Structure formats: structure tokens, C-alpha cells
Amino acid sequence: SKAKLFDEKTDTKTSFKDVAGLEGAKEEVQEIVDFLKYPEKYTALGGKIPKGALLVGPPGTGKTLLAKAVAGEAQVPFFSLSGSDFVEMFVGVGASRVRDLFKQAKEKSPSIIFIDEIDAIGRARGKSNFSGSNDERENTLNQLLTEMDGFGTNTNVIVLAATNRADVLDSALMRAGRFDRQIYVDLPDVRERKEIFEVHLRPLKKDDSLDIDFLAKQTPGFSGADIANVCNEAALIAARKGNKTVNKQDFLDAVDRIIGGLEKKNKIIT
């Protein structure tokens, strides 16, 4: 079968209701939803609609989820691509993939393009620590810049990109008319963790013993993705025990297991 060029989803059902916490970030992207839905409201006064925004924050904090929710709220197609897909690409393929992606998105505009892990292609030019594929990466980055510059004022495609390393990005990406807005997506505090638990507890059969405040307090440093994992693990643990509902102990066991996994991951990194 032919390799997939990029993901396109037109059945974007994700909404802001699925994104817990992140009030500031949601407020900022609400504006992007508005640009996509009512572009003439802005262009009528001579304003230029921004072309791109960078979502910056640690892994698993909901950047992809938020980008999908923007598409869902605006009811526009969502085209996505991950920077890490480009790492082992043959010469010329990266740039042509970017070209195809923008072509499709323009044809289906208004639309959203989402580039996950943009640091994999957007590292400052000439500063890569690995040689070889470097030229190809630069070609891909240059194509991305060319495409964004080529947008007319009425293109109505907005490019969202995510990274947890905004510091390594080529400054050309952040120039006016490109990713000139940065939106921070941080790890959740205790109140936000509670809201994230509420979202991911929805589909579970919960025991009355469950105390969401307690769970939120037991999980400092957890990302939204970690919390989603805890909820799923707890349900699996309860099922393995043959329980009819998911109880507090199942959650404590799941939290322990996730903490164990996080510790292992950190050991590999350091």
C-alpha cells in the first residue's frame, strides 16, 4: 500500500468540551476559530488574519487535542503531519510533502494544518547536531516558509504547530506573517487535573468510593495524557480483579504503575 502523505480528518468532532483546563490557551485559540468562521468580519476592516500560531508546552499537555478542537469548533477539515516523520526521508520528499499538504488544505479551505513536533524540521538552520539528512531538513523547512509566505490574504488556512522546544526553533519561523503567536500549554495544576479527571472518568463505571479531589492531589506533575492513562489503567485493573466498578484502590494501583513508567522513561533520558 502507498505510504500516507499526511492525515486528513474532515469529521472533526473534538470540541472545547474535550479539553479540560487550559483556560488561557482556549481563550487564545477561540480567536482562531472566529477567524476561520467569520473571516470577512476581520478583513472588512483591512486587518490581516494571522497565518500561524505555535503551541508550546511539555509532552502530553493537550496541544494536539487543542488543535483538533479548533477544527471541530470551526467545523473545518484538519490536516496533520508530524515533524518526526521527516527525520529519515529521502532527498526531495520532505519538501514535496509539505507542498502537497498546503495544496490540499488550500483546496479545502477554510481549514487547519497541524504540524506536530515542528522542532524536528524547524531547528535553527546550520545548527543541527547530526549531519547527513541536514540538507533535506533545511529544504523541508524552506518549503514550509515559502508556503506560509505564499498565502494570500483570503487563503483562510491557519497553520498550528506544536513543540516542547521553542528555544531551538529557527527564528525565521517566528517572523511576522508566520508563527508570530505563541500559545502556552502548561502542565495542569491541581484544579485542572481535577477537570481532566472528570473528562476521562466520564466513560468509566465508577465506584462511590471515588474521590476526584483526592486523585487530583495524588498526581502532581502528571500531564493530561498521564491522567488519561491512569483512568484507562484503573479500568483494566478493576476488570482483571473481576470488579463490577472501578474503585479508589484500582486508581491508586494505576497511579503507582504510571509513576513507575514515568520513572523508567526519565532514567533513559538522563
Interacting residue ranges for ligand ATP, rule: CB under 6 A: 19-22, 59-65, 116, 162, 164, 196, 199, 224-225, 228
Smaller CB separation from ligand ATP, 22 or 148:
22
Three-class SS state of 78: strand
Q: Determine whether the annotation assigns residue 270 to a binding site.
A: no
Smaller CB separation from ligand ATP, 63 or 137:
63
- Among 195, 201, 224, 110, smallest CA distance to 156 is for 110
Residue 197 Cα to chain centre, angstroms: 19
Half-sphere exposure of 3 (CA within 13 A, CB side): 5
Closest approach of ligand ATP to the CB of residue 226, in Å:
8
Smaller CB separation from ligand ATP, 109 or 223:
223
Q: How large is the C-alpha radius of gyration of the chain?
A: 21
The CB-nearest residue to ligand ATP is 224
Closest approach of ligand ATP to the CB of residue 43, in Å:
31
Rounded Cα distance between 181 and 20, Å, is: 22
For residue 231, the one-letter residue type is C
Residues 203 and 245: beta-carbon distance below 8 Å: no
Q: Determine whether the annotation assigns residue 58 to a binding site.
A: yes
Closest approach of ligand ATP to the CB of residue 58, in Å:
7
Residues 72 and 107: beta-carbon distance below 8 Å: no
Q: Determine whether the annotation assigns residue 127 to a binding site.
A: no
Q: Determine whether the annotation assigns residue 260 to a binding site.
A: no
Smaller CB separation from ligand ATP, 81 or 95:
81
Residues 26 and 16: beta-carbon distance below 8 Å: yes
Closest approach of ligand ATP to the CB of residue 117, in Å:
7
Closest approach of ligand ATP to the CB of residue 29, in Å:
12
Smaller CB separation from ligand ATP, 54 or 95:
54
- Among 33, 104, 97, 111, smallest CA distance to 66 is for 33
Smaller CB separation from ligand ATP, 138 or 192:
192
Angle 93-107/134-150 helices, nearest 10 degrees? 20
Q: Determine whether the annotation assigns residue 61 to a binding site.
A: yes
DSSP type of residue 74? H
Residues 6+ apart with CB under 8 A from 50: 32, 35, 158, 180, 181
Closest approach of ligand ATP to the CB of residue 14, in Å:
9
Smaller CB separation from ligand ATP, 95 or 159:
159
Rounded Cα distance between 102 and 35, Å, is: 18
Q: Determine whether the annotation assigns residue 163 to a binding site.
A: no
Q: Determine whether the annotation assigns residue 60 to a binding site.
A: yes
Closest approach of ligand ATP to the CB of residue 166, in Å:
12
Q: How many CB atoms are closer than 10 A to CB 153?
A: 12
Q: Annotated binding site for ATP: which residue ranges?
A: 57-64
Q: Annotated binding site: which residue ranges?
A: 57-64
